[in-house]
Structure 1
Amino acid sequence: MKKKIIGITVLVLLLGGGGTAGAFYYNDLSKYITTEDAKIQGDLRAIGSLSAGKLIEWRYKEGDSFNKGDVLGIVETVPARGTTPATTVEITAPDAGTVIQSNAVEDQTVSPGAALALSADLSQLYITANLQETEITDVHVGSKVTIKVDAFKNTTFTGHVDRIGLGTNSSFSLIASSNTTGNFTKVIQRVPVRITLDDYQNKRLIPGLNATIKIEKK
């Protein structure tokens, strides 16, 4: 009899716990939109020379920051005629940023428009989250967002929805998909949503980090 009472008690506790967990899950689902399909991003800018020639000087390595107008490198142009003296052209920073990738090697030959480095303004990072098309009606510009970044599991970031995409990810594909078999399977589309971070919580955030976001429904 005693064992039977203990068994019933355990069952009640399990059912009660399951009910509580179910209620919590439903409450969370009804108030928030959550996805792990999110990454930290920044506006990348390719840096190169406007003139062909030889890169005689490159002043910045990966991780170095610069201001708008700073001279990043110098190119010695190839004279069109043998009697014409060589001239130099400065490679200047179009905006403030940080070098996140550099392929520049001094004394290499460069072509106009070829990227010598990639930069990003690490103080202006944001998050791109891809939401299901069925969730978009519950998202609005200004909606509050809670963010977890995989690299900093014990830190909670906050932000807000800044922009909602005007097309699905598949609509931007360069190759349009076509159905040649006659069979059709509906696929849920994803819409990109841009999220602005309120602050970095003193963490070193960089483009490409995975994140999980939770958007408050309105």
Structure 2
Amino acid sequence: MKKKIIGLSVLAVVVIGGAIGGFYYYQQISKYISTEDSKVQGELRAIGSMAPGKLIEWNYKEGDTFKKGDVLGIVETAPARGNVAATTQDIIAPDDGTIIQTNAVKDQTVAAGAALLMSADLGKLYVTANIEETELHDVKAGNKVTLTIDAFPGTAFKGRVEKIGLGTNSSFSLIPSSNSSGSFTKVVQRVPVKIALDDYQGKRLIPGLNAVTKIER
């Protein structure tokens, strides 16, 4: 009898636990559109010289910030000859930013248009969440969003839907998929959704970090 009571008690706990878990799962999928296919991103900008020459001045390194209009470097496009002064050209910052990658070295020869650095405004980062097409009808600009970022477990970030992409990710592929066999397999497409962050919660966010996105329906 005692064993029977224990067995029934265990069964009751399992059933109740399953019911609670099922209710929670249903509540989550009915209230949120969730995806792990999300990343922190920023507007990346490649900056280089407009003319070929020698990089005679360059005092910036990765992590340095700059303001729009700052002189990032100077390129000597024609060296001095006799009484003719050297011709130089400034490399001007087009926007505020932080250098996230650079391969520039002072006194190197540079080509016109070749990138000397990659920058992003780390104060204007956002999240791109790739949402399945079957869920897209519930996504609207202004919808509230809760995010977690893998690099900062336990921290909840808030945001809102800013823009919904006008094409699926596959439509922008450089190599379109082909179907030479004549058979067809339907694949659920994903559409990029841009999410503006309310704030950074005091964390140092950088482009490329993985995120989990939950958009309120």
Kindly state the Cα deviation for residue 82 of structure 1 after the two structures are TM-superposed.
Answer: 8.4
- Letter of the aligned partner of 1:163 in structure 2? K
The question of whether the paired residues in 2 share the 8 Å contact of 1:169 and 1:192 is answered with yes
Matched, 1:110 2:110: yes
Q: TM-score, normalised by structure 1?
A: 0.96
- Letter of the aligned partner of 1:101 in structure 2? Q
- Equivalent residue for 2:175? 175
- Equivalent residue for 1:139? 139
Distance 1:165 1:135 in 2: 14
Identity %: 67
Listed as ranges, the matches of 1:13-162 within 5 Å are 13-78=13-78, 84-162=84-162
- Letter of the aligned partner of 1:89 in structure 2? Q
Spell out, residue by residue over 1:7-28, the C-alpha distance to the aligned partner (whole angstroms, 9 max, x if none): 1011011101101100110011
Kindly state the Cα deviation for residue 79 of structure 1 after the two structures are TM-superposed.
Answer: 5.6
Distance 1:116 1:174 in 2: 25
Kindly state the Cα deviation for residue 176 of structure 1 after the two structures are TM-superposed.
Answer: 2.2
Backbone CA RMSD of aligned residues:
1.5
Distance 1:125 1:46 in 2: 17
Kindly state the Cα deviation for residue 112 of structure 1 after the two structures are TM-superposed.
Answer: 1.1
Kindly state the Cα deviation for residue 78 of structure 1 after the two structures are TM-superposed.
Answer: 2.5
Q: Which stretches in structure 1 are left out of the alignment for 5+ residues?
A: none
Kindly state the Cα deviation for residue 94 of structure 1 after the two structures are TM-superposed.
Answer: 0.3
Matched, 1:206 2:206: yes
Q: SS of the counterpart of 1:153?
A: coil
Spell out, residue by residue over 1:125-152, the C-alpha distance to the aligned partner (whole angstroms, 9 max, x if none): 0000101010100100000000000000
- Equivalent residue for 2:165? 165
Distance 2:148 2:175 in 1: 34
The question of whether the paired residues in 2 share the 8 Å contact of 1:52 and 1:78 is answered with no
Q: Which stretches in structure 2 are left out of the alignment for 5+ residues?
A: none
Q: SS of the counterpart of 2:130?
A: strand
Distance 2:84 2:169 in 1: 52
Kindly state the Cα deviation for residue 97 of structure 1 after the two structures are TM-superposed.
Answer: 0.4
The question of whether the paired residues in 2 share the 8 Å contact of 1:41 and 1:125 is answered with yes
Distance 2:82 2:124 in 1: 47
| Divergent runs of 4+, >6 A | 80-83
- Letter of the aligned partner of 1:71 in structure 2? V
Q: SS of the counterpart of 1:154?
A: coil
Kindly state the Cα deviation for residue 2 of structure 1 after the two structures are TM-superposed.
Answer: 0.9
Kindly state the Cα deviation for residue 85 of structure 1 after the two structures are TM-superposed.
Answer: 3.7
Q: TM-score, normalised by structure 2?
A: 0.97
- Equivalent residue for 2:193? 193
The question of whether the paired residues in 1 share the 8 Å contact of 2:45 and 2:118 is answered with yes
The question of whether the paired residues in 1 share the 8 Å contact of 2:80 and 2:87 is answered with no
Spell out, residue by residue over 1:69-102, the C-alpha distance to the aligned partner (whole angstroms, 9 max, x if none): 0010011113699885421111110000000001
- Letter of the aligned partner of 1:92 in structure 2? I
Distance 2:159 2:56 in 1: 44
- Letter of the aligned partner of 1:212 in structure 2? V
- Letter of the aligned partner of 1:68 in structure 2? K
Distance 2:212 2:153 in 1: 10
